[in-house]
Amino acid sequence: MRIKLDENLGKSALVVLREAGYEAERPLEEGLSGYPDEQIWDFVWNQGMFFITLDVDFSDIRKFPPGTHPGILILRLSNQSREVVKQTLSKIIKAHPLETIKGCLAVADEYRTRIRRPKT
């Protein structure tokens, strides 16, 4: 499964994903660093990549309805330190392997993960 991390997530999150067996990249690796959200999203969507971000702008289900994209995971953390991001991402992957939330819009904090699945 291919995953794109938003540029607001660091290398430590990338390491967590790669160690879990995911093919993960950051915008910097694609030459997309500093690009607006819309351009990053177009790239992610066109490449069929699952997207992980800290940016709550991607949580609007009217703009990003489940089932119309490869999947979005928003980390909504009160503490966005490298260590908290790593711990939370590791916990999410163990509880909800990303393949199981493909096409969904998921919002996670330090304690729980809410998943909006596509309507059937």
Statement: residue 103 has pLDDT above 80 = yes
Q: Report domain extents, the chain.
A: 2-116
Structure tokens at 43: 């790239």
How far is 54 from 58, CA to CA, in rounded Å? 9
pLDDT tens digits, 30-64: 777 888 888 889 999 999 999 999 999 999 999 99
**79 CB contacts (<8 Å, ≥6 apart)?**
110
Residues 61-75, mean pLDDT to the nearest whole number: 95
Statement: residue 68 has pLDDT above 80 = yes
Residues 87-112, mean pLDDT to the nearest whole number: 96
How far is 19 from 77, CA to CA, in rounded Å? 22
- 24: DSSP letter: E
Q: Of 5-9, 33-37, 45-49, 92-96, which range is least confident?
A: 33-37
Round the CA-based radius of gyration of the chain to a whole number and report it: 13
The topology (CATH level 3) of 2-116 is: Rossmann fold (3.40.50)
Residues 77-104, mean pLDDT to the nearest whole number: 95
pLDDT of residue 29: 75
pLDDT of residue 62: 92
* Distance, first Cα to last Cα, the chain: 23
Q: 9-45 as b/e, with b when 16 or more CB fall inside 10 Å?
A: beeebbebbeeeebebbbbeeeebeeeeeeebbebbe
Average pLDDT, the chain: 93
How far is 4 from 47, CA to CA, in rounded Å? 10
pLDDT of residue 86: 95
